[in-house]
Amino acid sequence: MAKKQVGRRVEGWKAKSWFKVHTPENLGKTYIGDTIANDAESVVGRIMQATLGEITNDYAKQHIKMRFRVATVTGDAAYTEFVGHEVTRDYLRSLIKRRSTRIDCLVPIVTKEGKKVRLTISCYTLARANVSQIHAIRNAITANVKAQAQAWDLNTLVNGIVGGEISRDVFKVVKTLYPIRRIEIIKSKVGTGASAPVPAPETAAAPA
């Protein structure tokens, strides 16, 4: 009879390696956590999440959840690309005030390098807006962002979201139409499919 193979079988998890995950270069290649895998190829494509507060050491930005996809692995270091962000529900609730209107606008754009991105932008008014005012505000937001997007690459877009520059630029335009309190990019998603226009959602007004 053939001899049985001599040796210890390595436990599955012991045979795996840990990889340190970092943000993209424009966000400082900040370390955001570890992931375990059999090999480097298995790490590519994984989605990691961290708050902007953790990335920048700014507690005031803990409400912004950033999502990244592992793009490359060098040694035990995994480097990511930005795939989207979203603000927390608690933060959104804090923005709604009595006798005001929240106006949501979905804006699909394409960056200079061909990345398709869908932005969800919310406008918060100082007083209740009527239907015509809501349409005017939504149209102004869409036109302004699409005009700016022609000059953006993905890094410029991400920096504009996290730094607030895009929201401030849109605010300057919209405030000439109606008194508003705030403009926020509450969500973004980088995709590979066609960025066809999406019907605008229902307007949510704060309770009286």
Query: Are residues 94 and 83 both part of a single domain?
Result: no
Please enumerate in sequence order all residues whose Cβ is within 8 A of that of 48, keeping only pairs 6 or more positions apart, or say none. 21, 32, 33, 35, 67, 68, 69, 70, 80
Q: Of the candidates 198, 197, 184, 195, which has an alpha carbon nearest to the alpha carbon of residue 102?
A: 184
67, 161: one domain: no
Say if 3 falls within a structural domain: no
Do 174 and 201 belong to one domain?
Answer: yes
Q: List, in sequence order, every beta strand (DSSP E) within 75-147.
A: 77-87, 101-110, 116-125
Q: Is residue 192 part of a domain?
A: yes
Per-residue pLDDT tens digits of the chain, which is 208 residues long: 444 444 455 456 667 899 999 999 999 999 999 999 998 899 999 999 999 999 999 989 999 999 999 999 999 999 999 999 999 999 999 998 888 999 999 999 999 989 999 999 999 999 999 999 999 999 999 999 999 998 999 999 999 999 999 999 999 999 999 999 999 999 999 986 443 333 333 334 443 3
On whether both 30 and 93 belong to a single domain, the answer is no
Range of the domain at 60: 17-87
Task: Classify residue 56: in a domain, yes or no.
Answer: yes
Q: Tell whether 119 and 197 lie within a shared domain.
A: yes
Phi, psi of 150 (to 5 degrees): -60, -25
Evaluate whether residue 96 is within a structural domain: yes
Q: Please check whether residues 101 and 171 belong to one and the same domain.
A: yes
Residue at 54 is within a domain: yes
Whole-model pTM: value is 0.81
